[in-house]
Amino acid sequence: MTTRAPGLVVATLALLVAFLVALPGAWADDEPAKPKPQTGVQTDSGSATGRRPAAPPPIKPPSIAYGGTRSSSTWIETPGGTRVAVGKGVSFRGVKVYLSLMWDLVGVDEASGKTLYAANIGAFWNAFGFKEISVAGRKVWAVELRPGARARVGKDKRQYHDLRTGKQLEPDGQTKPDLGAALKPVAVWHGAASRVAAPVHRLVSTQANWDALRTWMFGAKPKQTFGAIDFTKNIVIVTSSGDSWNNDGFSVEAAYENTTRVLIRMRRHTYQTDGGGNRTRPYGVFVLPRRPGKPYVLERNTQGLIRGPALWRETYRAQIGKPSAELRGLQAPAPRKRAPRQTGPRQTGAGR
């Protein structure tokens, strides 16, 4: 039997202990050391501080603005079977939208190529984008129509149409002015043949003043037939723009009354002629209920493009005063200028 030297055994044990000490973590079930998080390094829970990263900014919807002139080589068939010429369109959320050269808002489904809608919106709008709006408490993506940078009036106007259907929408939160209760005029007369070359706006409250004003504007035997007026209950407002072109006069588009005033919104009866024009002296005569102490306010729509939004501007304001002051400052009517020859057919239509 062989016997090992005690010194050898002791040396062997010392080497084993030293080896084990040199192995870090060998006495912790071989669990690896956890690395220390570094500043600015993303972890599973977000950032190095444990907070969620900031959400990316929302994508800005595209938009387009057209110039003063446009051309097209592309035709799109509308749901009604007609064809409209379009130029450049804009795609958003699966719908490609155009403004046609004849002022239609056209939407085409990009997946199927089917025309979803073609809504005539008029020539006022010359740009559009997209906006998510709230309608009856529900979020809806809409086409936002804009007048474009070339607009002289109404630059802040906007109109919304459903992106998928083209239906015009009224966003929540839009405040409309309190115009008051609807008021029906007692009588309205209009025409194109006043004797007065300069603009005229007058309120008269007596029969004598009405007789004098009527003769001054239309002569002793006017072609226009005016009915009898009860001045114990009514007053008369006369308005005329003087020398004009292609205008058959002014009627009342709408009238309203509230506690502070009577509002009359006028309608211009304009028309077009091919190759020439007609000189006119358009007028309107409005018989309205007598309201002492309240001003009567005339407004005219300064936006003349077909189907464009109305842009009302005050043109005259007066209230019942002393009859002796109602005709003050009237001058003798100027001689009428000879009307130029009309070289083309007349295209009638009522403008605002």
Give the model confidence (pLDDT) of 146-199 as tens digits: 997 777 778 889 999 999 999 999 999 888 888 999 999 999 999 999 999 999
Q: What does the pLDDT read at residue 16?
A: 44
Is the pLDDT reported for residue 17 higher than 60?
A: no
Tell me which residue of 325, 272, 318, 274 sits closest to 292, measured CA to CA.
318
Q: What are phi and psi of 81, to 5 degrees?
A: 95, -5
Q: Residue 102 corresponds to which amino acid?
A: M
Burial (CB count within 10 angstroms: exposed 0-12, middle 13-18, buried 19+), residue 7: exposed
The single-letter DSSP state of residue 218 is H
Residue-wise DSSP of 201-222 = EEEE-SHHHHHHHHHHHH-SS-
Q: What does the pLDDT read at residue 12?
A: 45
3 state SS for 141-202 = EEEEEECCCCCCCCCCCCEEEECCCCCEECCCCCCCCCCCEECCCCEEEEECECCCCCCEEE
* Residue 18: its H or E element: helix 6-21
Q: Decide if 201 contacts 298 (C-beta within 8 A).
A: yes
Tell me the domains of the chain and their CATH numbers: 64-169 (2.40.10.480), 181-334 (no CATH)
pTM for the model: 0.70
**Region label for 54, one of left (φ > 0), alpha (ψ between -120 and 50) or beta (otherwise):** beta
Q: What does the pLDDT read at residue 351?
A: 54
- Sign of the torsion angle spanned by Cα atoms 196, 336, 187, 255: negative
Instruction: Calculate Rg over the CA atoms of the chain.
Output: 39
Name which residue leads in pLDDT, 9 or 209: 209
Name which residue leads in pLDDT, 165 or 19: 165
Q: What does the pLDDT read at residue 192?
A: 94
Give the model confidence (pLDDT) of 23-41 as tens digits: 444 434 444 555 555 544 4
Distance CA 315, CA 131 (A): 36
Q: What does the pLDDT read at residue 152?
A: 74
Q: What does the pLDDT read at residue 201?
A: 96
Which two three-digit tokens encode residue 271? 């028309």
Q: Decide if 40 contacts 48 (C-beta within 8 A).
A: yes
